[in-house]
Amino acid sequence: MTTEKEGRTTASVAYLTIVGSLIALTMNMEPKNTFARFHIRQAFGIHLLYHGLAIVLTFAGIVQVSFWLFIAYIILALYGMLGALNQQRQSIPVIGPYFQKWFTFIS
């Protein structure tokens, strides 16, 4: 286990894209960092939620909402990344604690 300062880069990479989350996951394999793991779970949840809702909205024919969904996605990703850069374990409002419970396979 290492500190927040050492896991800051890995945690920040996770918020870049869904591929960034996968890269951060492999970066955190050895040595394991609990701070990075926290942020990888948050970022992975944000990315999955965005892509899942985008697919559902597209197939439902509600494409007009896509712009606002993308804006919300960017805001949540920036919120998480700023927390990672400031070495804080701040969950995404409302859904962040669920991401920590649902993505326990990320270790």
pLDDT at 2 (0 to 100): 55
Q: How much is the mean pLDDT over the chain?
A: 88
Given a cut of 70, whether residue 49 has pLDDT beyond it is: yes
Does residue 50 fall inside a structural domain?
Answer: yes
Domain span at 69 = 4-102
Number of compact structural domains in the chain: 1
CB-based contacts of 23, cutoff 8 Å, min separation 6 = 13, 14
pTM: 0.87
Q: CA-based angle 12:44:75, to the nearest 5?
A: 65
Give the rounded percent of residues in the chain with a pLDDT score beyond 90. 41
Given a cut of 80, whether residue 107 has pLDDT beyond it is: no
Given a cut of 80, whether residue 5 has pLDDT beyond it is: no
Does residue 63 fall inside a structural domain?
Answer: yes
